[in-house]
Amino acid sequence: MVARGSVTFRGFVRADGSVGTRNHVLVVSILGLTNRIAERITQCVPGALLVTTPYGRGHYGVDKVIHRDQLVGLCLNPNVGGVLVIGADRKMVDDIATAAARGGRPVRSVALDDVHEDALEATARGVRAAGELVHASSRVRRTEQPASALFLGVECGHSDATSGIVANPVAGNCVDRIVDAGGTAVVGETVEWLGAEHIVSRRAVNAAVADAIVAAVLRREAEVSAGGHDLTGNNPGAENIRGGLSSIEEKSLGAIAKTGTKPIQGVLRVAEQPKRNGLFLMDGPSFSPESLSGFAASGAQIMLFTTGAGNSFCNSIAPTVKLSGRPDTVARLKDQIDFDASPVFEGREDIEAAGGRLFDLVLEIASGAATWGEVHGEGAEALYRANGSM
């Protein structure tokens, strides 16, 4: 067991006290109308990171809140050293830019309103602003920081029979180490808790959190059910049963093995920042790109991503550490999978030892070592919404 404060990594300290594992300048198009402008700006300024969304108007109900929360949350991510906000109307741009500026990092903005709807003039202004932000942000240096500043997002994609017994428990062991070091971790994908919510909720710190876990599952199940789908009727499916899964409890426990064993401090909304350190669940979408963006918008500055057969998707703001326990996957994708958990599968290493190796790799990547996804230019943000536009 590692004593709090004794484990460190090298990160970028921000004015709001958060610590980045990266130092990105974001060019954020806050609605679909201005995506191409933001893309042109980013092409002209190497080092700037593009964030777009196809949507942004005609939202109603919860989407109005979620859309804004995600955009602001991504701007406030500790890995962000500067933000250029691009949008159509000045009012909406100011709203996001003002909220983003609360992180204490430089924020600039361009609205089509400012340039009488001249998209090329907006591009020119944006290129200058993004260039200044990249120039300024490059002055920041990494310093030694406690691992308690780390906030780990944990995801799985293209899982198979090895995921639940190797990659997910190894990720869970790493989560335990992060929490023991005083850090924070989040696991999402509410529908994956289905069938084990009565078990997961027993790990809640109090009855209110336990109730929130069960309520989140029941609400998703009801929503999906209203859409004409049954999540429990044929679950586990025939392929799961062939793979050895005997019940929905077993299937869900395999998925949530990546939460480790620590108490669950709360259930976050998409893009909600945790109010204290420790392990959290996020009531969020099950599609990896959206789930990861939800974590990034809540402040996660490094991701663990377990896979069986392989899955190349990475978050763009937070380095995404890929791991698999399947020997042929690790051999086939040796320049894409960051962590080899297959010695556990092959009976040569126990989960504890592999979890220790993974924790060391997380600290190394948090300190600046590149993931394979970063080397190959993987990464995107995908904003979640519950409904369509009106």
Return residues touching other proteins (CB under 8 A): 161-162, 165-166, 169, 195-196, 198-199, 232, 241, 243-244, 246-250, 253-254, 257, 344-348, 350-352
- What's the closest the beta carbon of residue 193 comes to other proteins, in angstroms? 12
> What does each C-alpha distance from 44 to 106, 123, 126, 127 come to in angstroms?
19, 10, 10, 7
- What's the closest the beta carbon of residue 205 comes to other proteins, in angstroms? 18
- What's the closest the beta carbon of residue 127 comes to other proteins, in angstroms? 53
Pairing of strands 8-13, 19-20: antiparallel
Q: Which is nearer to other proteins, 235 or 367 (CB)?
A: 235
Contacts of 310 (CB under 8 A, 6+ apart): 158, 324, 329, 332, 333, 336, 337
- What's the closest the beta carbon of residue 257 comes to other proteins, in angstroms? 6
Q: Which is nearer to other proteins, 189 or 290 (CB)?
A: 189
Q: What is the CA radius of gyration of the chain?
A: 21
Q: Which is nearer to other proteins, 38 or 175 (CB)?
A: 175
- What's the closest the beta carbon of residue 329 comes to other proteins, in angstroms? 15
Compute the distance between CA of residue 272 and CA of residue 315 in angstroms, rounded to an integer. 17
- What's the closest the beta carbon of residue 298 comes to other proteins, in angstroms? 26
- 102 CB neighbour count, 10 Å cutoff: 13
- 219 CB neighbour count, 10 Å cutoff: 12
Compute the distance between CA of residue 322 and CA of residue 337 in angstroms, rounded to an integer. 5
Q: At what angle do helices 168-180 and 351-366 cross, to 10 degrees?
A: 60
Compute the distance between CA of residue 1 and CA of residue 255 in angstroms, rounded to an integer. 25
Q: Which is nearer to other proteins, 32 or 356 (CB)?
A: 356
- What's the closest the beta carbon of residue 344 comes to other proteins, in angstroms? 7
Which residue from 268, 339, 264, 262 is spatially nearest to 306, judged by alpha carbons? 339
Residue showing tokens 């793979």: 243
Q: Which is nearer to other proteins, 200 or 303 (CB)?
A: 200
- What's the closest the beta carbon of residue 173 comes to other proteins, in angstroms? 10
Question: What is the maximum span of the chain, computed from C-alpha positions, in angstroms?
Answer: 66
Q: Which is nearer to other proteins, 299 or 355 (CB)?
A: 355
Compute the distance between CA of residue 338 and CA of residue 324 in angstroms, rounded to an integer. 9
- What's the closest the beta carbon of residue 217 comes to other proteins, in angstroms? 11
Which residue from 95, 139, 105 is spatially nearest to 18, judged by alpha carbons? 105
Q: Which is nearer to other proteins, 70 or 173 (CB)?
A: 173
Q: Which is nearer to other proteins, 18 or 342 (CB)?
A: 342
* Contact by Cβ (8 Å): 57, 142: no
